[in-house]
Structure 1
């Protein structure tokens, strides 16, 4: 899917909501205790063109700003998670970003499904800015893992997907490039561009994209696809969509095993 560039007024939008961006000309963030020294930084387009780095002006918290299209699958999904977070919904799931349960948090802290700090809408460009706590490297970038780390991360991946399915959500884009991991090896699922929300009773639901082809929801186009998943509309069928996630997790295990 084509990455979405940030709107021209993104810096003003974020500053008006208490966030400050990093400058694109700087390769590294300056080491400073002064929050006023933080500026805008745009991640290189070769990595993620629709992602910006920022900080919270009040306390210097490191943030990621993701640009999404208003009304698309991801923006609806993240808005749903954001309101769950505001309501204090406690969803027991291991990880850091889309699926998170911080084992290092103090006792009594609320676990939330997504570290979504804010949602900012730019009506002019039809863009939604998702402000999230900063994530780490993708699992594809972790390299060789020790057996304990290997099984620890895989357990988190399976746990995250099981909770998504329990909520009626099929991710449909699971791969080692869409899972991220912080320094504590807490796992995150990030992109929801292809996801489906199957709970018809909820007001927030994700409509399928007719332009998606069956091969586009797999982590690797060379993956052997089971016969029951080869139909063009497989991602539209609830139980089949869940099976696609499970199949992708199996591919993820193989991907890790080869490292």
Structure 2
């Protein structure tokens, strides 16, 4: 059945979309490339029309997918844009979903990855799943084909998404058995433990290029599987076994517990990235900031001290110190602390949750913090730096 005439424009609740071409004809849904009113590329999804007797069930499933994506807003989850209804030739109506267009390669296409890259992608995906669970949503179909990597990994295809309040709601299961958790197929049960099982499978695939079920007996990972893991990450075999346990209660309680176990098994370094006026500086240990050329980050300005402040890693955390630091035997040593009464404006402030926190001595930095090197209510912030902090596996 031809759903769209050439260049058909459809109306959603938030705008209109011009259909360009079909990009995928799946068993559960058909995907079309489209353009919104601003000229941005989007994806439009409708229920599959192959089997008309399943249309009602597939329409219900797509509406549930719309509901799930409306609840979610995360950089590693495909963005919900809009939804609406289409009228077919026979007078029936079907729902449609409009999503972000994600250009890139799937993990399935990428195959085995270098361990550091695999773990970086995995942690971003796992963080998105943890967020999803905090919103009461279970994905249910995490597999290499459903993670697209462009500038960032993005989880797509929420056609099997369910809600924690209704873990057995899925009566008709459309899954790839190769990537399904045992309870998906045996009990049609969808919980966060099923997502944890699939995360374990995803990690094994990224590290080896193989599906872990090729190394399983009765749903459990065999010892042989440890031999195909890269040498640098063989310590995570026990973590994979736990994530891939047959019994739900033997798996990790939640995704954060899984991630903590990974950190403990591999160890990690913490890296800070400072961005100022489009330039990025990566800091693994420390960086002094000021006007003088021997600072690690040189920032000129009439209100900036020659040696303004320093960012220093201590015991797995980054701190910002005000004052003058000398380098002694490769480490920063504070020589002078600025008088708060005298230099009230010329002190760094952390901007966090709408508050300006003065650095009178030292303050711990958080991922996403913004630093104003100077600030007062009358003059406002001066010389703005953004901070990103992340854990990097020690391989």
Q: Where on the TM-score scale, by shorter chain, does this alignment land: which range?
A: 0.5 to 0.7
Within the alignment, does 1:120 sit opposite 2:118 as a pair? no
Alpha-carbon deviation of 1:14?
2.0
What is the TM-score of this pair, normalised by structure 2? 0.42
Does the CA contact (< 8 Å) of 1:122 and 1:128 recur in 2?
Answer: yes
Alpha-carbon deviation of 1:173?
1.0
- Please identify which structure carries the higher helix content: 1
Q: Structure 1: how far apart are the matches of 2:2 and 2:127?
A: 32
Structure 2 equivalent of residue 101 of structure 1:
none
Query: Could you list the per-position Cα deviations for residues 106-141 of structure 1 after superposition, in whole angstroms to 9, with x for gaps in the alignment?
Result: xxxxxxxxx222102125443222111211332112
- Please identify which structure carries the higher strand content: 2
Q: Structure 2: how far apart are the matches of 1:174 and 1:165?
A: 13
Within the alignment, does 1:95 sit opposite 2:91 as a pair? no
Flag the structure with more relative contact order, 1 or 2, with Cα contacts below 8 A and sequence separation at least 6. Answer: 1
Q: Structure 1: how far apart are the matches of 2:193 and 2:201?
A: 12
Structure 2 equivalent of residue 198 of structure 1:
164
Structure 2 equivalent of residue 109 of structure 1:
none
Q: Structure 2: how far apart are the matches of 1:162 and 1:247?
A: 13
What is the TM-score of this pair, normalised by structure 1? 0.62
Within the alignment, does 1:256 sit opposite 2:224 as a pair? no
Within the alignment, does 1:78 sit opposite 2:66 as a pair? yes
- SS of the residue 1:220 aligns to: helix
Alpha-carbon deviation of 1:78?
1.8
Q: Structure 2: how far apart are the matches of 1:125 and 1:9?
A: 17
Q: Structure 2: how far apart are the matches of 1:157 and 1:177?
A: 13
Structure 2 equivalent of residue 232 of structure 1:
186
Q: Structure 1: how far apart are the matches of 2:75 and 2:63?
A: 22
In our comparison, the structure showing a higher alpha carbon Rg is 2
Q: Structure 1: how far apart are the matches of 2:92 and 2:101?
A: 24
Structure 1 equivalent of residue 172 of structure 2:
211
Does the CA contact (< 8 Å) of 1:174 and 1:248 recur in 2?
Answer: yes
- SS of the residue 2:154 aligns to: strand
Give the unaligned 5+ runs of structure 1.
22-39, 86-90, 98-114, 201-205
Residues 1:67 and 1:175: Cα distance change in structure 2 (over 3 Å)? same
Q: Structure 2: how far apart are the matches of 1:174 and 1:158?
A: 10
Q: Structure 2: how far apart are the matches of 1:231 and 1:210?
A: 11
Q: Structure 1: how far apart are the matches of 2:153 and 2:2?
A: 26
Within the alignment, does 1:242 sit opposite 2:242 as a pair? no
Q: Structure 1: how far apart are the matches of 2:127 and 2:119?
A: 12
Within the alignment, does 1:14 sit opposite 2:10 as a pair? yes
